[in-house]
């Protein structure tokens, strides 16, 4: 009999709780991965995964949760916690915080801070980049980060223009405040992930020139591949000077 797994999201609590039931093995692990990544792509503050009714069919498949946590460590920087019931030992190898129940995990997170997040849906049309810059300027004013307004506008402009010029799909701009850092991300519905080598490229090359600019002002950046598209993200740090644009010879930062 084929393995099956089901995921149900309860968004009615302070943080999303994902109840996973069925059998976790190498067959069902990709389904778990794509479903959780899709949820993380909405940039929640935290996600609690209820695995109390999930049977581990193959111990190696548990690594899928550790992999998701690594993928989300830089962006969206989301806390990922497990509610595991009495079988907590089976999930220790994930490296994730394990609580007896989802309710206890939610309580441990404390109150959410929605003021630290902004988002806006955009169509791939002329003027989308301008609207994204307005959102960035609003965010930097709200979060008292005027020094990041310029670099963040460079980043979001390049991300949005790539979608308008190449992906041609609706997109969502996602901004977040994390301590003295600000994350800028754009989600679209194209599976084409821009590639970056660190070398100058023709202006007609998809992603290359824009990524060169993003690399010059961001502390970290990367991409998150989804089942229905991708997110390209960057993190800018107010504690570092990020406004000087080098001209050539940039080394790429670690990114997915």
Task: Answer yes or no: is 18 within a domain.
Answer: yes
Q: The CATH number of the domain where 12 resides is what? A: 3.30.750.24
Same domain, yes or no: 30 and 99: yes
Same domain, yes or no: 85 and 181: no
Instruction: Give the pLDDT confidence of 149-189 residue by residue, as tens digits.
Output: 999 999 999 999 999 999 999 999 999 998 889 999 999 99
- If 0-12 CB within 10 Å is exposed, 13-18 middle and 19+ buried, where does residue 56 land? middle
Q: Which of 93, 109, 125 is the last residue of a domain?
A: 109
Q: For residue 248, what pLDDT band results from cuts at 50, 70 and 90? A: very low
Instruction: Give the pLDDT confidence of 46-63 residue by residue, as tens digits.
Output: 999 999 999 999 999 999
Residue located via tokens 């093995």 = 25
- Structural domain span for residue 66: 5-109
Same domain, yes or no: 105 and 132: no
User: What is the per-residue pLDDT for 1?
Assistant: 52
Task: Answer yes or no: is 136 within a domain.
Answer: yes
Same domain, yes or no: 53 and 120: no
User: What is the per-residue pLDDT for 196?
Assistant: 67
Please tell me the total count of domains within the chain.
2
User: What is the per-residue pLDDT for 252?
Assistant: 33
Is residue 70 within 8 Å of 37, Cβ to Cβ? no
- Give mean pLDDT, residues 126-133: 96
Instruction: Give the pLDDT confidence of 82-100 residue by residue, as tens digits.
Output: 999 988 888 988 999 999 9
Residues 6+ apart with CB under 8 A from 244: none
Task: Answer yes or no: is 126 within a domain.
Answer: yes
Instruction: Give the pLDDT confidence of 186-228 residue by residue, as tens digits.
Output: 999 998 887 765 555 454 444 446 788 899 999 999 999 999 9
- CA-to-CA distance for 147 and 207, rounded, in angstroms? 26
Residue 253 above 70 pLDDT?
no
- Give mean pLDDT, residues 139-151: 96
User: What is the per-residue pLDDT for 210?
Assistant: 73
3-class secondary structure, 115 = helix
Q: For residue 116, what pLDDT band results from cuts at 50, 70 and 90? A: very high
Instruction: Give the pLDDT confidence of 17-32 residue by residue, as tens digits.
Output: 999 999 999 999 999 9
Same domain, yes or no: 230 and 133: yes
Angle between helices 128-142 and 149-162 (to 10 degrees): 150
- CA-to-CA distance for 252 and 254, rounded, in angstroms? 7
pTM of the model: 0.85
């Amino acid at each position: 009999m084929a393995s099956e797994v089901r995921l149900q999201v309860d968004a009615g609590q302070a943080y999303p709780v994902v109840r996973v039931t069925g059998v976790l093995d190498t067959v069902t692990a990709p389904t778990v991965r794509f479903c959780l990544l899709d949820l993380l792509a909405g940039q929640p503050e935290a996600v609690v995964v209820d695995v109390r009714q999930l049977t581990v069919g193959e111990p190696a498949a548990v690594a899928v949760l550790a992999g998701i946590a690594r993928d989300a460590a830089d962006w969206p920087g989301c806390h990922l916690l497990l509610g595991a019931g009495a079988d907590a030992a089976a999930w220790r190898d994930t490296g994730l915080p394990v609580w007896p129940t989802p309710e206890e995990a939610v309580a441990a997170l404390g109150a959410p801070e929605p003021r630290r997040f902004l988002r806006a849906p955009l169509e791939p049309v002329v003027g989308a980049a301008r609207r994204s810059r307005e959102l960035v300027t609003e965010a930097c004013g709200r979060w008292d980060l005027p020094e990041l307004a310029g670099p963040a506008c460079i980043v979001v402009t390049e991300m949005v223009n790539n979608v308008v010029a190449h992906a041609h799909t609706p997109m969502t701009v996602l901004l977040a405040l994390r301590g003295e850092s600000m994350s800028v991300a754009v989600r679209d519905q194209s599976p084409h992930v821009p590639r970056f080598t660190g070398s100058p490229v023709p202006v007609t090359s998809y992603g290359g020139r824009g990524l060169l600019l993003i690399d010059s002002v961001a502390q970290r950046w990367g991409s998150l591949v989804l089942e229905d598209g991708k997110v390209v993200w960057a993190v800018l740090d107010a504690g570092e000077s990020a406004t000087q644009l080098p001209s050539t010879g940039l080394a790429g930062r670690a990114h997915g």
